[in-house]
Amino acid sequence: MSSKESGETLKPWCPFCGMDVGRPTEAAQRKMTEFPVGRCDCGAIYVCDATGHNIGAAMVECLVYACNDEWDLAWELMPEDDYLTGRVEDYDDVTHQVVPKRNLDGRAVRGVLYFVRLHKEVAEIAERFREKQEALARQEGAAAKTVTPPAPEPRRDPKRRKMRASKQQVRELAAKEEIDVLVDLCLDDGRTLRFLQRLLYDPVEASRYHTAWIMGQVAARVSAREPGQVADLLHRLFEACADSAATPWGMIEAIGSIVAARPDIFGAFTRHLLGFMGDRSTQEAVIWSLGEIAAVRPDLIRKTPFYSTFHFLGHDSPTMRGLMARLLGRIKAKEAAFQVMGLQGDQTPITIYEQGRPVETTVGEQATRAVELINSD
């Protein structure tokens, strides 16, 4: 009698090669709908849906992972013709076992490991896409400001007395830009980031931008120790932005600040910002956020259909025109050079926020700076 027939627990295996597979782990880059991911020695990619209720999303994400995050390529592929799929059911993500009885120590087991293996020709195409994107990132990143990821936060003494956060305390620390204390507070009390998020609900624009910048600085360091806490914050911010019954004050700006501070971890969130360009009330925040990310990782913007925003260079809002010029300059958009040059004579004054503080400038100044970047080596 086999182990499966006897109801004994089993080590998870790859349905393609039969080899045991390791425990899926969180991806290096966090995404909107993330599942732990793994790779078999035979080249198959697999993700874990711990509940068994999100298999559709897991299937899509697994295929995109296999395509090295090239969404356009993933959508063009056909099952069987371009890739094979497989699944291992009754998977328990807690113990990394397959439990045929679907119950372990009184706990229901309903997890699924979903596998995708690209055919050789398609895998080679996906690899070429990856190499091309890495080369583009190196080329564009050389001309942009580089961000050195913060060193891992030192482990706190587990015997120390942990701090507890309060709304008033977080408000005061943010106003004083006490980043070190806020980071300690986040690592001690998971409510800290929620309290920071609440500070975004402020009718004063300058206060919202300042809070967004503070959140980016804090999140950058917290994510070096607990990236999941920051990923949860990003999910909440996106959900708040999508709520049609609420005004997303500062939410998109906070997302942009966080991604710009740690694009190595959260860069995959960039493409989702464009989903808010359809609402006039959030367009300015989206372009500002994309500009923040473009300053450090222009390749992340180029991975999105950013060209759909070119027409905003003629927007009736001068701030939007200036922000568009700023964005296109930072990604060296040679394809829009003539349109940007057309704004150099626009002396309309605008305010753009940099590092949480207002900077007085003009549309023409932003356009001139953009042209210089586009024409630089």
How is 296-357 classified by DSSP, letter by letter? Answer: T-HHHHHTTTGGGGGGGGG-S-HHHHHHHHHHHHHTT-GGGHHHHHTTTT---EEEEEETTE
Say whether pLDDT at 148 is over 60. Answer: yes
Those residues with Cβ within 8 angstroms of residue 72's Cβ, 6 or more apart along the chain or in another chain: none
Contact 212, 256 (CB under 8 A): yes
Strand pairing category for 45-49 and 349-354 = unpaired
Average pLDDT over residues 361-371: 97
- Least confident stretch, 74-88, 150-164, 345-359: 150-164
Tell me the one-letter amino acid at 224. A
Supply 158's token pair: 């587990």
Minimum mean pLDDT among 9-18, 50-59, 126-135: which range?
126-135
Helix (H, G, I), strand (E, B), or coil: what is residue 56?
helix
User: Rounded to an integer, what is the distance from CA 129 to the centroid of its chain?
Assistant: 20
Sequence-separated (6 or more) residues with CB below 8 Å from residue 223: 229, 230, 262, 265, 266
Confidence of residue 28 (pLDDT cuts 50, 70, 90): low
- 3, two tokens: 């182990």
Element (H, E) at 97: strand 97-98
145 vs 249, more confident: 249
What are the φ and ψ backbone dihedral angles of 361, each rounded to 5 degrees?
-150, -170
Question: What integer pLDDT is reported at residue 18 of this predicted model?
Answer: 81
Q: What is the pLDDT of residue 70?
A: 78
What is the mean pLDDT of the segment spanning 335-363? Answer: 96
Single out the residue of 232, 154, 225, 157 nearest to residue 193, CA to CA: 232
Residue 114, pLDDT score: 93
Give percent of the chain with pLDDT exceeding 90.
Answer: 51
Statement: residue 145 has pLDDT above 70: no
How confident is the prediction for the chain on average, in pLDDT?
87
Rounded Cα–Cα distance for residues 134 and 293 (Å) = 17
Find how far residue 74's CA is from the centre of its chain: 19
**Averaged pLDDT, 145-157:** 65
Measured distance CA(307)–CA(135) in Å, rounded = 21
Nearest to 233 by CA among 275, 274, 198: 198
Angle at the Cα of 154 from the Cα atoms of 152 and 160, rounded to 5 degrees: 150
Q: Is the pLDDT score of 333 beyond 50?
A: yes
- Model pLDDT for residues 253-309, shown as the tens digit of each residue: 999 999 999 998 888 889 889 889 988 889 999 999 999 999 999 989 988 888 888
For residue 195, the one-letter residue type is F
What is this structure's pTM? 0.67
Is residue 16 very low, low, confident or very high in pLDDT (cuts 50, 70, 90)? confident
The pLDDT of residue 3 is: 45
pLDDT per residue as tens digits for the range 190-249: 899 999 999 999 999 999 999 999 999 999 999 888 887 888 899 899 988 887 767 788
Which tokens go with 51?
């509940």
For Cα atoms 28, 67, 109, give the angle at the middle one, nearest 5 degrees. Answer: 65
